[in-house]
Homo-oligomer: A and B are copies of this chain.
Amino acid sequence: MKKLNTISLNEIRLTDDFFGKYTELVTKEIIPYQWRVLNNREPSAEKSNCIENFKIASGEAEGEFYGFVFQDTDLAKWLEAVAYSLSYEKNEELERMADQAIELIGRAQRPDGYLDTYFIIKEPEGKFTNLREGHELYTAGHFMEAAVAYYEVTGKDRLLSIMEKNADLICETFHTKVYETAVPGHQEVEIGLIRLYEATGKEKYLAMAKDFIDRRGTEPNYLIHEHEHQNWTDVFHNPDPFFPAYSQCDEPVRQQKTARGHAVRAVYMYCAMADLAAAYDDKELLDTCRTLYRNITERQMYLTGGIGSSGIYERFTVDYDLPNDRNYAESCASIGLALFCRRMAQITHETRYLETMETALYNTVLAGIAMDGKSFFYVNPLEVVPEFCMDFSSIGHVKPVRQKWFGCACCPPNIARTLASLGAYLCFTEEKAVYLNLHVSCSFSATISGKTVRFSVKTRMPFYGETELSVDNPEQTSGTVFIRIPAYAKDPLLQCDEGEVMKTDAGIYAAVPLTKELKTIRLRFSMPAEYVYADPQVRADVGKVAVKKGPLVYAMEEADNGKNLAAFFADTGIQPKEVFEKELLGGTMTLLVEGWRLLRGDGESGLYRIVRPERERTSARLIPYCYWNNRQPGEMLVWMREA
């Protein structure tokens, strides 16, 4: 297997209208805000204590550990986001703060390499005695990712050494007799170890990740029996009770055919599986990845790229169980899905994975963050009636408005690191080729056939199907440019410089040879808004339609359409009208859908009546799903009834 490379973030600049505002938010808003949070200096957020925990662990402060057992990961994700942010904008002060934080981490680390402030402070005898929920390996994985990111962008290897020392301890510990069948309860360290291997070349890290995957779900099943061990430490009840499928340890990994259990744990594991399949040329493992991908995308994924439909246990349930109003679809799970799809595309060179990656990024991931960068969705419903989302009810987990920084702050920093590293999703490189994955304006350089080639991408996506890729130094070039023609592109046409306009297929990478003459490749396609139907086995969507335009799923909001969006019936005989609204939500394409709306009636007819409610002709305005809840709070609806 020939795995394509992601581009170094130092080599790419985002110049995109659609995404640029988000990546700017990360630098200007989120990173400084989170730094204040980490230091307990942000009154609008719940107390984090993260930095303080490190100070206590290093002996520089006194006090009790505060926060979740995985509190340290807030700092890890912050450092990773900082690294990515520094790649597109130098910021000496920020880098200085990051360096100081890294030094503090180093001082908190135990001489043997152990690093986890919860256990260092609170349960010094308890390390690695609760893998199911102790989260030490999960935390380690995030610090490994941060370490590699920081090293790649800044060239500084302090955090890298800290995490190598930690990884050495893990490799040693988890090959001792006691731990020879052990695996982490929350997957993530596998990704971290693989990244560390890629940065350092130390194969034992890769081998450790492989062992964790190969051990999982096999007998004797460490996670199932862990709490019977004499030295088991009771740290955190999430979930209670534990069931093996929750942690994907109910079956050997290679035998798993359906996505199950906690969605974030699942997709993080699939990422590692894909990496390992490529690293070991392991076709069986790759086949498992393909099977799981198909199960997710053909049976368990929302139109918006959301996954994990149960609020309780934040988990996958069963095929076609995709309720719109009580779902979970955690932002972090869609991030993990995008990471998995990126890896699958790198390995297989198949654009189908990019379609899913794009869906997740443009819809669920972007919906996760407010347009002012100050609040976040953890849970991503497709239908909301704010009054129904009561605390102390069966849909108390669904929040009708984005939340400020939480005590359990997994999603916001995860969204931040994803947006900050968007460049890694945009294109791939290999020795003799470059691959453009997403239609996002940017400039980047890549080494092709030994020469550095500079490219610029200008696009009118996601609202219009026009992309122009320019080669800024054509005299250097040879090799191939692969441009992804999205599956939703209608009648795509390619033109190289002033040459012939050529038809191309959709849903592929179109190959264009790089020549010394080639300056510009122009891609045009139409991308009308389309009504979408779900498989009739998705009970929740029967009799309903959604609207998609290109990568964007659209939604009705109360702000445009008044209350009770459910009473609207779309007339799918009429094509949605596309209207670009310059003043709305920073400028966006809206859609006008014709239809009918049930009248409420006279209020005298009772809750149930034998007379069909009357209806009136009307139209509904739809906005991109990712922009919902950026005006006043109110109802939102993706799947409309079809008239």
What does the 1/0 interface line of A295-339 toward B look like (CB < 8 Å)? 001110101000001111101011101010110100000000000
Chain B residues within 8 Å of A601, by CB: 535-536
- Cα–Cα, bound, A266→B642 (Å): 39
If A298-B607, A609-B533, A611-B533 touch, whether A243 touches B385 (CB-CB below 8 Å) is no
Indicate if A219 sits at the interface (CB-CB under 8 A): no
If A387-B321, A392-B246, A394-B326 touch, whether A535 touches B315 (CB-CB below 8 Å) is no
Indicate if A501 sits at the interface (CB-CB under 8 A): no
Chain B residues within 8 Å of A572, by CB: 612
Contact A394 B542 (CB under 8 A): no
Indicate if A390 sits at the interface (CB-CB under 8 A): yes
Indicate if A407 sits at the interface (CB-CB under 8 A): no
Contact A532 B390 (CB under 8 A): no
If A326-B326, A542-B598, A598-B542 touch, whether A394 touches B310 (CB-CB below 8 Å) is yes
Indicate if A605 sits at the interface (CB-CB under 8 A): yes
What does the 1/0 interface line of A582-607 toward B look like (CB < 8 Å)? 00000000000000001111000111
Chain B residues within 8 Å of A611, by CB: 533
Indicate if A442 sits at the interface (CB-CB under 8 A): no
| B-binding segment of A472-480, A517-525, A562-570 | A562-570
Indicate if A230 sits at the interface (CB-CB under 8 A): no
Name A322's closest neighbour in chain B (CB-CB).
B607
Name A564's closest neighbour in chain B (CB-CB).
B537
Indicate if A66 sits at the interface (CB-CB under 8 A): no
Chain B residues within 8 Å of A600, by CB: 535-537
What does the 1/0 interface line of A384-421 toward B look like (CB < 8 Å)? 01011011111111000000000000000000000000
Chain B residues within 8 Å of A546, by CB: 608
Indicate if A530 sits at the interface (CB-CB under 8 A): yes
Name A643's closest neighbour in chain B (CB-CB).
B543
Chain B residues within 8 Å of A641, by CB: 542-543
Contact B607 A534 (CB under 8 A): yes
A-B contact pairs, 17 of them (CB 8 A): A297-B607, A298-B607, A303-B608, A312-B392, A312-B394, A312-B396, A313-B392, A318-B390, A326-B394, A394-B395, A531-B610, A533-B610, A535-B606, A536-B567, A536-B601, A539-B566, A543-B641
Indicate if A510 sits at the interface (CB-CB under 8 A): no
- Cα–Cα, bound, A609→B610 (Å): 35
Contact A609 B569 (CB under 8 A): no
* 20 additional A-B residue pairs with CB within 8 Å, beyond A535-B600, A612-B642: A301-B607, A309-B394, A310-B393, A311-B394, A312-B394, A315-B393, A318-B390, A321-B385, A325-B539, A394-B394, A533-B611, A533-B612, A533-B613, A534-B608, A535-B609, A535-B613, A536-B613, A537-B567, A542-B598, A543-B569
- Cα–Cα, bound, A299→B388 (Å): 13
Indicate if A513 sits at the interface (CB-CB under 8 A): no
CB proximity to B under 8 Å, residues A553-580: 564, 566-567, 569, 572
Chain B residues within 8 Å of A396, by CB: 312
Chain B residues within 8 Å of A220, by CB: none
Indicate if A239 sits at the interface (CB-CB under 8 A): yes
Indicate if A512 sits at the interface (CB-CB under 8 A): no
- Cα–Cα, bound, A546→B298 (Å): 31
If A318-B387, A598-B542 touch, whether A607 touches B299 (CB-CB below 8 Å) is yes
- Cα–Cα, bound, A612→B546 (Å): 12
Indicate if A121 sits at the interface (CB-CB under 8 A): no
Interface centre among A309, A535, A610, A612 (most CB of B within 10 A): A535
Indicate if A94 sits at the interface (CB-CB under 8 A): no
Chain B residues within 8 Å of A328, by CB: 394
Indicate if A538 sits at the interface (CB-CB under 8 A): yes
Chain B residues within 8 Å of A383, by CB: 539
- Cα–Cα, bound, A605→B533 (Å): 10
Chain B residues within 8 Å of A642, by CB: 612
Q: Give the Cβ gap from A565 to chain B, nearest Cβ, in Å.
A: 8
Chain B residues within 8 Å of A535, by CB: 600-601, 605-609, 613
Name A390's closest neighbour in chain B (CB-CB).
B317
Chain B residues within 8 Å of A534, by CB: 607-608
If A301-B607, A531-B610, A610-B530 touch, whether A393 touches B542 (CB-CB below 8 Å) is no
Chain B residues within 8 Å of A564, by CB: 536-537, 539
* One of B246, B325, B606 near A323 (C-beta < 8 A): B325
Chain B residues within 8 Å of A397, by CB: 394
Name A300's closest neighbour in chain B (CB-CB).
B607
- Cα–Cα, bound, A315→B394 (Å): 9
Chain B residues within 8 Å of A388, by CB: 317-318, 321, 539
Chain B residues within 8 Å of A319, by CB: 387
Contact B392 A239 (CB under 8 A): yes
Contact A532 B609 (CB under 8 A): yes
- Cα–Cα, bound, A483→B412 (Å): 65
Q: Give the Cβ gap from A486 to chain B, nearest Cβ, in Å.
A: 14
